[in-house]
Amino acid sequence: MLVMISPVVDATFVAQHPAAVLVDVRWYLDGRDGYAAFQAGHIAGAVWADLDHQLAAHGAPATEGRHPFPTPEAFAAAMEALGIGDNTVAVAYDDTGGLTAGRLVVMLRMLGHDAALLDGGLRTWTGPTATGSNPPRPVATFTPRPWPAQRFADADNTGSTAQNGGVVLDARARERFTGEVAAVDPRPGHIPGARNAPWSAVLDPDGHLADTATLRAHYEALGVNERNADDVVAYCGSGVSACMNVVALEHAGFAPPRLYVASWSGWSADPERAAELGA
């Protein structure tokens, strides 16, 4: 399977593809209930995806982070429950411009499925909305496929890339990157040699993704170029917001970076791994 659509689409694309499955991926680090937010108001016809239980696994060691990827079989079952099959076009959104919706987009595109982020998400949507629970979905068949190893970096890969002149992008807010705020992580700081690339920096003030020229300049300033774009690693707190950098880099015309899924939550859970503080 080959991805055919852009990683970012707009409301016009949604209108032109009525069979596409709109997926609401609202989830909040502060503990707010994403499904309650969905029930209070969502894009008409959308389904809600549970990031914690459909887009992540449980019971893994702490060094695998707070949101490790599910098994291919578990992910396939989750997609079928959402009405996403082998040939379904999926368009994901949230209310933050892609902070959490990007996770589903990246997972599906890794497997060759047509999936995209709805530019601007719910904040800029002017079409019909609805309230209430997930609507029933038609039966779908989603074939389990192994996660492609070449799209991932583990802790050793990430650390060596950062230390040997590669580009490792940390999508967390600056105060978490510097260690001023530890938030939910075992230790403050960042992976030594990583560069701070907050996920929110790829958005315009109105909540849309910045234009491709602006995105290219943004990533070039962080050290990404055509020569090294195949060996960039993206991480964040738990492998969720890092997906915004994955989507934005591809949208800007670069190769998608490898994803360190365990991210800082996994790295900082290992006392043997160094933490760097400051900018």
Q: State the catalytic residue, choosing from 78, 210, 236, 259.
A: 236
In whole angstroms, what is the distance from residue 77 CA to residue 234 CA? 27
Q: How far from 188 is each of 61, 81, 167, 193, 264, CA to CA, in Å?
A: 20, 38, 21, 15, 9
Q: How far from 236 is each of 120, 155, 180, CA to CA, in Å?
A: 21, 13, 16
- Whether residue 216 contacts residue 76, with contact meaning beta carbons closer than 8 Å, is answered with no
- Whether residue 254 contacts residue 212, with contact meaning beta carbons closer than 8 Å, is answered with no
HSE of 1 in the Cβ direction (CA atoms, 13 Å)? 21
Task: State yes or no: is 236 an active-site residue.
Answer: yes
Q: Is 103 left (phi over 0), alpha (psi -120 to 50) or beta?
A: alpha
* Selection from 153, 144, 160, 181 nearest residue 260 by Cα: 153
- Whether residue 73 contacts residue 144, with contact meaning beta carbons closer than 8 Å, is answered with yes
* Selection from 106, 9, 19, 93 nearest residue 55 by Cα: 106
Give the catalytic positions in this structure: 236
